[in-house]
Amino acid sequence: MQGSFGAVTPLELLWNGWRAQYVTTAGAAAVPGQSVFTRILASGLPDTETHIVHRGEHVFVILNAFPYTVGHLMVLPYRQVGDLALLTGEETAELWSTVTTTTGVLRDVMRCEGLNVGLNLGPVAGGSISEHLHVHVVPRWLGDANFMTTTANTRTLPEALPDTAAKIRTAWPTAEPHS
């Protein structure tokens, strides 16, 4: 078979249809100076459509629309800032308190064996949306790195985002401590 990928066999091509939305909408509807998160918050859409699973006073939690693995959440301030030093004391306290809660919720809901928690500050650090800092909280399981990501740049997600979001919303504690 000859195509735009050169000479390949049918087994070398894997369909990864969910990525089409990401590729075709990257940069679409961009508003100068507004992150995708700011646009989501201003959209007026219900949380069930935007995959926001928790709203606090200063921060919110949203499912990553293009996750590394099922249950990949992001915790971020409502206010669009690109660096930790720009957060207020209240935002900082609630951000880290909510990250802690998020790790517990993911352990309960996803039955994961571990978690990756981190930030990419600035474009050179891998921050694809560097103008609006966000803390990634990614569930991990023993043996979850498989050949699909390594050889085919493909991720397998065994559950639809709305289903995951509903489980997380249900498990979210109703009373959270705020500093």
pLDDT digits (tens, 9 = 90+) for 4-18: 444 444 444 444 454
State the amino acid at position 120 in one-letter form. N
179 lies in some domain: no
- What are the start-end ranges of the H helices in the chain? 18-25, 36-42, 47-50, 89-110, 147-152, 161-171
**Tokens 């091509």 belong to residue:** 13
Q: Is residue 18, in this structure, part of any structural domain at all?
A: no
pLDDT of residue 20: 52
Q: DSSP string spanning 133-155?
A: --EEEEEE-TT---HHHHHHS--
Percent of the chain with pLDDT over 90: 54
Residue 128, amino acid: S
Question: Does some domain include residue 3?
Answer: no
Any idea what the Cα angle at residue 126 is, between residues 172 and 83, rounded to 5°?
65
Domain of residue 50 covers 35-171
Which parts of the chain register pLDDT below 70?
A: 1-31, 127, 145-158, 175-179
Annotated active-site residue in 58, 134, 136, 178: 134
| CA distance readout (Å), 130 to 65, 98, 113 | 16, 20, 29
In a domain, 131, yes or no: yes
Q: Tokens 């043996």 belong to which residue? A: 143
Q: CATH number, domain at 104?
A: 3.30.428.10
The count of domains in the chain is 1
Supply the pLDDT for residue 29: 53
Q: Is residue 25 part of a domain?
A: no
Query: Does a structural domain hold residue 176?
Result: no
First to last CA, the chain: 61
Whether residue 79 is contained in a domain is answered as yes
For residue 157, tell me if it sits in a domain: yes
> Is residue 134 annotated as a catalytic residue, yes or no?
yes
